[in-house]
Structure 1
């Protein structure tokens, strides 16, 4: 499976502060670089990420292509959480969020493993570059929002 892993230093914030920021549902669309629309009765302002929680949203790929996702939070710990796609635009998607103390701040890591519909050729032609761009932008947004 392809893997995207990106680690960013967030100055002046503890691991607990960074993780808490990520666990607040209201921050999800702020971090994500493309439009996100909650589905059903989901209210992002009242969403706290917790183990076992399932929710659905529409993500507008490249700002114009709607992709509906249903995800479940598989695990939440004091230094990480893991979400996994149940239904969506990929064959598989698993996203680990990790925080680690560093001198003067926190190292925040996203590690995503995925499998595209259409296999390795579609991954090479479209999905790998898309994933790299999305997670690069997520990290820029995290740094900007947590300054």
Structure 2
């Protein structure tokens, strides 16, 4: 399965501040570079990410193509949390969010392991570039919001 890993230095923020920002549900659509619509009656303004929680949302790929996801939060720790797709457009998707102290701020890392339903040819043709574009944009958004 392909693995995409990106790390960004978020200046002048502690690991606790960056992780806390990520764990607040209200920030999910702010970080995500494409439109996201919740498919349940969850109030993002009162949502804290916790292990075992499940979420349903529609991600609008290229802001046009609807793609429904069901994800579960597998783990939440002092320096990370992990979400995993239960149902959605891919055969597999596991996303680790990690924070660590860095020089002048916090190193924020996204590590995504995924597999396309169409296998390696579809990953090579479309999915790998799409994942890179989405996660690079997420990192830019994190810097804009926390910088």
Return the offset for 1:104.
1.4
- In structure 2, distance between residues paired with 1:76 and 1:40: 22
- TM-score, reference length from structure 1: 0.99
Partner of 2:133: 133
Partner of 2:49: 49
Partner of 2:88: 88
Partner of 1:117: 117
Return the offset for 1:40.
1.5
SS of residue matched to 1:128: helix
Instruction: Please list, as runs of the form range in 1=range in 2, the aligned pairs for 1:1-147 lying within 5 A after superposition.
Output: 1-147=1-147
- In structure 2, distance between residues paired with 1:112 and 1:126: 16
**Cα contact 1:42–1:56 (8 A) shared by 2:** no
Return the offset for 1:38.
0.7
- TM-score, reference length from structure 2: 0.99
Per-residue CA deviation, residues 10-53 of structure 1 (Å, 9 max, x unaligned), is 00000000000000000000000000001121221121100000
SS of residue matched to 2:16: helix
- Which runs of no fewer than 5 residues in structure 2 stay unpaired? none
- Would you say how many aligned residue pairs link Structure 1 and Structure 2? 147
Pairwise CA RMSD: 0.5
**Cα contact 1:69–1:85 (8 A) shared by 2:** yes
- Which runs of no fewer than 5 residues in structure 1 stay unpaired? none
Return the offset for 1:97.
0.2
SS of residue matched to 1:100: strand
Stretches of 4+ aligned residues off by more than 2 angstroms: none
